[in-house]
Every structure is written in C-alpha cells, then in structure tokens.
C-alpha cells in the first residue's frame, strides 16, 4: 500500500471585508493601517470601530514601513501538529516592532541571522508572497 503524503502548509490569514485593504496594500507593496479620524489613534488589527473612542470614522493610511524592534523571541521548536508548517523556518524570529508613526506591529524578522537581532534594531518592511494569494508583511534590518 502506497504511503499517502500530505503537503504541510502554514496557516494563512482569513481575508474579510474589514481587513481586505490591509491585504490589498501588502500585495501592492504598501503597509496599510486604519487610523481614527476622530481621535487620531492607529487601529490594528482592522476592525469596524476605533478601539479608543468607538468612532466608526476610520480611514486607511499608508505607513512608512520603518521602525525599531521593541521586543522579540527566537522560535527554535515547533510544538503541536497545527504549527508543523513552520518547522522548515526554524530558527526564526517573531517580533513586536514600534513603527515610526507610533503603532506597534507584530511580524517576523527575516534577512538576518537570529543571533544578530536585538532590541531597538532599525528595521524596514518587506513583502513576502506566500504563493497562496496572500502577501505577508515582514521586516528586515533597515538598509539605510
């Protein structure tokens, strides 16, 4: 009996009408985020109303894609079947990035050895095509 092989994939984001502009922006090479027109707060993850003042007057704005690492962790082991798709990437870095415009954003740091990543490291966004119709914003060491 032939052994059945299944392709192991990473989980991808669910695209909804609320978050569609974020993913469309990523596909176009732009880091987009909602901003409240009433109180000026950046809003992420995408939602129908501002998390600070509950206003529904949100607009999409493009960020520079530049920032500094606030904190990070190095993932060295995959635990559980649901995350098996990440095993080929080990070790990899997941980080909180303080974007120059103010909001804090969670992503991966790529394009650099994991032992070179440090807090306050300047980083810039890069866009990675998942091959599954979704482009993921990730960050690398800033080039300038």
The CB-of-13 to Zn ion minimum distance in angstroms stands at 24
> At closest approach, how far in Å is the CB of 34 from Zn ion?
10
Q: Which is nearer to Zn ion, 19 or 55 (CB)?
A: 55
Tell me: does residue 132 bind Zn ion (CB under 5 A). no
Smallest gap from Cβ 56 to Zn ion, in A, equals 9
Q: How far is the CB of 55 from Zn ion (least distance, A)?
A: 5
Are 136 and 127 in contact by the 8 Å Cβ rule? The answer is yes
- As to burial, measured by CB atoms within 10 angstroms (0-12 exposed, 13-18 middle, 19+ buried), residue 91 is exposed
Q: Residues 26, 32, 33, 50: which binds Zn ion (CB under 5 A)?
A: 50
CA quadruple 100, 106, 108, 109: dihedral positive or negative? positive
Residues in 52-111 that interact with Zn ion by CB under 5 A: 52-53, 55
Both tokens assigned to 97:
């990035």
Give the total residue count for the chain: 144
Nearer to Zn ion, 52 or 59 (CB): 52
- By CB atoms closer than 10 A (0-12, 13-18, 19+), residue 128 is middle
- Binding residues for Zn ion, per CB under 5 A? 36, 38-39, 41, 50, 52-53, 55
């Amino acid at each position: 009996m032939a052994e059945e092989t299944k392709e192991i994939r990473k989980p991808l984001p669910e695209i909804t009408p609320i978050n569609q502009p974020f993913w469309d922006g990523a596909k176009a090479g732009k880091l987009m985020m909602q901003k409240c027109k009433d109180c000026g707060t950046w809003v992420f993850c995408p939602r129908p109303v501002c998390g600070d003042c509950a206003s529904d007057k949100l607009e999409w704005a493009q960020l520079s894609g530049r920032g500094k690492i606030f904190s990070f962790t190095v993932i060295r082991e995959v635990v559980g079947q649901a995350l098996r798709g990440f095993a080929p990437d080990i070790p990899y870095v997941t980080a909180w990035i303080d974007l120059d415009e103010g909001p804090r954003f969670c992503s991966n740091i790529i394009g650099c050895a994991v032992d070179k990543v440090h807090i306050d490291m300047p980083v810039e966004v890069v866009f990675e095509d998942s091959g599954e119709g979704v482009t993921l914003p990730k960050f690398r060491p800033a080039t300038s």
